[in-house]
Amino acid sequence: MSKKYTLKIITPDRELFEGEVSKTVIPTNDGNIEIYANHTPITVITVPNKTEFVDEAENKKILFTSSGVVTFNDGMLTFCCESGEWPEEIDIARAEDAKMRAENRIKDSSKFDEKRAKLALSRALVRIDIKNNL
């Protein structure tokens, strides 16, 4: 049986998850980081992407998380992010619309902030991927 630790995922609006887990995979600019119970204390900045964890019943869970900050210390991993959605909460039509808007803004980057458009496109693509792979 894997050692467990507490994972808490929160946004300004709600708590997405709090419970015991054996592993969490967190997206960062430098790639994914896997956190286990014996991990050294760490604080990292995250990027919009899939966050995965293995819950107390050894079920793999996946959700969309936006930019945020993760801190692991003394058996507690706290993930504070701007927004997050479980696969069943993702509105695929809205994500497809966001993808199209972002692609159009990237094409016409003289009028729009290209960096913001690329971030919006990234968020939309991750949401679509999560929803399509339920």
H/E stretch holding 73 reads: strand 68-73
Query: Would you state the pLDDT for residue 1?
Result: 60
Phi, psi of 93 (to 5 degrees): -65, -40
Tokens representing residue 117 in the block: 């458009």
Supply the pLDDT for residue 20.
98
Ordered by where they begin, the domains of the chain are 5-85 (2.60.15.10), 90-133 (1.20.5.440)
What angle, 0 to 180 degrees and rounded to 10, lies between the N-to-C axes of helices 92-107 and 114-132?
150
- Give me the pLDDT at residue 111, please: 66
Pairing of strands 76-81, 5-10: parallel
- Counting as low any pLDDT under 70, the low residues of the chain are 1, 109-112, 134
Per-residue pLDDT at 128: 85
Could you report the per-residue pLDDT of 4-34, keeping only the tens digit for each? 999 999 999 999 999 999 999 999 989 999 9
* 3-class secondary-structure state, position 121: helix
95 CB-near residues (< 8 Å, 6+ apart) = 124, 127, 128, 131
Give the model's pLDDT for residue 134. 67
Instruction: Give 24's contacts (C-beta < 8 A, 6+ positions apart).
Output: 7, 34, 35, 51, 52, 53, 54, 77, 79
